[in-house]
């Protein structure tokens, strides 16, 4: 696993955004896998700035989001569709018809899950998947005990996740306990994965992801099986890793090699 440790959240957002900008420059019709939560917001701001300064265009890009609350319609302010419109899509030149978020208001959510998988396949698969991580190691809404081969499906949220995400809901507001999420198997099929984590409260999950055993108890540990995954994390999220200096050394050597090859 490639682990890039940077000073702070701002540096993480910049580094992560550059990966996406390079991807879209190389392949203007890239299929992006996108994430919600507070961590990717700064990366989305970087992408918006890059679009406004003419560095990147999303005209031919399509996107699939990881997950959605089951029971919220797309206009609900806490829905992930609403979030994506607000934080990214409304500010760039992407064709909204090419942006997909699992339908939280589907009449038949089981069929909707299968259709989501089909839609990803029809677009040729995800070129690059952005991930955050939950404190319990969840990716998307794949909570601990999720099958490592799982596909898009309905998932019950753990108490920990419900509590962590309660901050986005008003005291009397309905907070769903169910979600539709891409599976771990779905995520592992994307060609590249970029996971962002910042802050001390993610340190344990990052340690388990990188240095722990491959286990459904930490869904993100399944990324150890992926050929092209990069974790972009700040010093605080890296603080429990056993050998921070080693990961930094590897990154410096990688950069030197890329520079020598003219690919930096």
Site residues for ligand GLP per CB under 6 A: 35-39, 66-67, 132-134, 140-141, 161, 165
68 among known catalytic residues: no
Closer to ligand GLP by Cβ: residue 56 or 197: 197
Q: Write down the least CB distance from residue 167 to ligand GLP, Å.
A: 9
138 among known catalytic residues: yes
The string over 159-179, giving b where at least 16 C-beta atoms fall within 10 Å of a residue's C-beta and e elsewhere, is: eebeebbeeeeeeeeebbeeb
Give CA 120 to chain center in angstroms.
Answer: 16
DSSP state, residue 226: -
**H helix and E strand count, the chain:** 8, 10
- Tell me which of 68, 127, 143, 234 is the catalytic residue: 143
259 among known catalytic residues: no
243 among known catalytic residues: no
Closer to ligand GLP by Cβ: residue 38 or 147: 38
Answer for the pair 38, 80: CB distance below 8 angstroms, yes or no: no
Sorted by sequence, the CB contacts under 8 Å of residue 139 that are 6+ apart come out as: 66, 131, 132, 133, 184, 187, 195, 219, 220, 222, 223
Q: Write down the least CB distance from residue 90 to ligand GLP, Å.
A: 20
Closer to ligand GLP by Cβ: residue 56 or 161: 161
Answer for the pair 80, 165: CB distance below 8 angstroms, yes or no: no
What residue has token string 């917001």? 41
Q: Write down the least CB distance from residue 219 to ligand GLP, Å.
A: 11
User: How far is the C-alpha of 9 from the C-alpha of 199, rounded, in Å?
Assistant: 8
Closer to ligand GLP by Cβ: residue 56 or 72: 72
Q: Write down the least CB distance from residue 200 to ligand GLP, Å.
A: 12
- Tell me which of 65, 76, 136, 234 is the catalytic residue: 136
Closer to ligand GLP by Cβ: residue 66 or 194: 66
- Tell me which of 46, 67, 68, 127 is the catalytic residue: 67
- Tell me which of 46, 127, 138, 189 is the catalytic residue: 138
Q: Write down the least CB distance from residue 25 to ligand GLP, Å.
A: 26
**Six-digit token string for 119:** 């839609």
Residues forming the active site: 67, 136, 138, 143
């Amino acid at each position: 696993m490639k682990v890039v440790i940077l000073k702070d959240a701002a540096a993480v957002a910049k580094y992560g955004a550059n990966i996406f900008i390079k991807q879209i420059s190389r392949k203007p019709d890239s299929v992006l896998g996108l994430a919600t939560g507070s961590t990717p917001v700064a990366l989305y701001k970087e992408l918006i700035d890059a679009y406004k300064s003419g560095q990147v265009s999303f005209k031919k890009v399509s996107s699939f989001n990881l997950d959605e609350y089951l029971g919220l319609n797309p206009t609900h302010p806490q829905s992930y569709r609403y979030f994506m419109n607000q934080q990214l899509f409304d500010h760039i030149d992407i064709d909204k018809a090419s942006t997909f978020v699992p339908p939280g208001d589907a009449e038949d959510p089981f069929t909707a899950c299968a259709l989501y998988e089909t839609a990803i396949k029809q677009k040729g698969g995800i070129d690059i998947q952005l991930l955050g991580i939950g404190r319990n190691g969840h990716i998307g809404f794949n909570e601990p005990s999720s099958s490592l081969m799982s596909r898009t499906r309905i998932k019950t949220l753990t108490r920990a996740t419900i509590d962590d995400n309660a901050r986005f809901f008003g005291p009397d507001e309905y907070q769903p306990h169910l979600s539709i999420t891409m599976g771990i198997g779905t995520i592992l099929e994307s060609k590249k994965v970029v996971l962002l984590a910042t802050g001390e409260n993610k340190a344990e999950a990052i340690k388990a992801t990188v240095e722990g055993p491959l286990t459904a108890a930490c869904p993100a540990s399944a990324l150890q099986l992926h050929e092209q995954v990069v974790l972009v994390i700040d010093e605080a999220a890296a603080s429990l890793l056993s050998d921070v200096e080693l990961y930094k050394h590897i990154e410096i050597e990688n950069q030197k090699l890329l520079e020598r090859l003219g690919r930096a």
